[in-house]
Amino acid sequence: MGFWSNLKDKLFGTREERLAKKQAKIEAKEQKKLAKELEKNNKLDNYIAGLSKSNNSFTENIKELQNKHNKIDEEFFEDLEEILIMADISIKLVNIIINECKKEVKIENIQDPKLIGEIIADKLFTIYTSNSIIDTSLNVKKGRLNVILVVGVNGGGKTTSISKIAKKLIDDGNKVLIAAADTFRAAAVEQLDFWSQKVGASIVKPAQNEVDPAAVVYKAIEKAQNEKFDVLIIDTAGRLQNKVNLMNELAKINKVLGNKIENAPHESLLVLDATTGQNGVLQAKIFKEATPLTGIILTKMDGTSKGGIVLTIKDEIGLSVKYIGLGEKVDDLAEFDLDSYIYGLMKGLVD
Ligand SMILES: Nc1nc2c(ncn2[C@@H]2O[C@H](COP(=O)(O)OP(=O)(O)OP(=O)(O)O)[C@@H](O)[C@H]2O)c(=O)[nH]1
Ligand SMILES: [Mg+2]
């Protein structure tokens, strides 16, 4: 055996050992790829199931439109406009979509109504992205205490969404603390207690007769810092009876956070219930004035047949949907994925 191969054996093991190592590496890579594909399929299945109400209504309406018209003309577009508006897409966006579809139909000289599905899917995609990259990841970094503030009106799904996000972060290896800064409802704390136990997160509760949510936040920061938590998620009360109160309360929480932790909160997420449609857009505007927001969690998409609300929110509030609620189970909160959303919405129409 020559010097070189001896040296390599010394450094890296014998040729057989090296080959075995290589083989193991390839196998591990393939396994990883398979697991990723499986996860992707599961995710898509979640979207398909969660969006089935929207899908049924949207595809049925479009199919009816296609059967009613034997060519694409002005009347066809008028009916299409109505369908898009019924899907909770804002008038402004509907106008853009219709104009874009008209252009495409003209350029490609398309007359068959059966071909409109693919054109709509394509337009929904480009309008949502406006040719920019959509970032749905949470600003959670290793080596610091990350703070996620969650706001939104009563019953929107804050507490359940927080539990779902906590589970995801715990699965990723993070130590997660939840602050029950909802001091207005005793049941809110109980509910959070139940969920946090279920997903394996720790929780800080208000002291007896504590009414100040900022005090709970303060206590939670101390615990998080002392016990080296990776993420602190703050559940707030969903009262929207008075904008000034809301502003003051959130400002106080933000101040406590900012004083104790650099750049905190790192995420401020607004939870919106998709079934509230345009009313949700109004709420979002009020919250946006009350506190800086970094993203939206759009819950109960499984409960609405008007799936276009995702586009309206992005356009009217200027914030991306980071998570989408597709059901009540812990795994039913998905990171928002535009491809899966459009597929779920239009499945059966294009393929
Ligand atoms: N179907 C469905 N139900 C959901 C989803 N997200 C939340 N819910 C349900 O909505 C209800 C209210 O959710 P909560 O998490 O308690 O809402 P909240 O915003 O914390 O409410 P308050 O604490 O009263 O402000 C619960 O019954 C949840 O199970 C979802 O994506 N799909
Ligand atoms: Mg709650």
Length of the chain, in residues: 351
Q: Are 162 and 233 in contact (CB under 8 A)?
A: yes
275-302 tens-digit pLDDT: 998 888 888 888 888 889 999 999 999 9
Helix (H) / strand (E) containing 51: none
From 159, 165, 235, 239, mutation site for ligand 1 pocket: most ligand atoms within 8 A of C-beta: 159
Does the beta carbon of 299 sit less than 6 angstroms from any atom of ligand 1? yes
What contacts 302, CB < 8 A, 6 or more positions away?
Answer: 49, 50, 51, 52, 53, 325, 326, 327, 332
Ligand 1 centroid to residue 127 C-alpha, Å: 29
Q: What is the side-by-side strand order in the sheet with 146-151?
A: 202-204, 176-181, 231-236, 146-151, 267-273, 295-299, 321-325, 333-335
Q: Can you state the angle between helices 15-50 and 3-12, rounded to 10 degrees? A: 40
Distance, CA of 44 to CA of 38 (rounded, Å): 10
Q: Are 298 and 310 in contact (CB under 8 A)?
A: yes
CA distances from 32 to 29, 67, 132 (A): 5, 46, 29
pLDDT of residue 186: 72
**Degrees (nearest 5) of the Cα angle 38, 49, 81?**
125
pLDDT of residue 290: 84
Give one DSSP letter per residue of 63-90, joined into a string. HHHHHH-SS-SHHHHHHHHHHHHHTT--
pLDDT of residue 132: 65
pLDDT of residue 2: 75
pLDDT of residue 19: 84
User: In terms of C-beta distances under 8 Å and separation of at least 24 residues, what long-range contacts does 181-184 make, across chains too?
Assistant: 181/206, 181/213, 181/214, 181/216, 181/217, 181/220, 181/234, 181/235, 181/236, 181/237, 181/253, 182/213, 182/235, 182/236, 182/237, 182/238, 183/210, 183/211, 183/212, 183/213, 183/216, 183/237, 184/237, 184/239
pLDDT of residue 131: 58
Does the beta carbon of 303 sit less than 6 angstroms from any atom of ligand 1? yes
Nearest CA to ligand 1 atom 26: 157
Does the beta carbon of 50 sit less than 6 angstroms from any atom of ligand 1? no
Ligand 1 centroid to residue 30 C-alpha, Å: 39
**Mean pLDDT, contiguous 10-residue spans, the chain (351 residues):** 73 80 87 78 87 92 92 93 92 92 92 89 85 79 96 91 94 95 80 90 89 92 97 87 80 93 94 91 88 94 90 88 92 89 86 64
230-242 tens-digit pLDDT: 999 999 987 766 7
Q: Is 244 helix (H, G, I), strand (E, B) or coil?
A: helix
Distance, CA of 318 to CA of 184 (rounded, Å): 31
Does the beta carbon of 188 sit less than 6 angstroms from any atom of ligand 1? yes
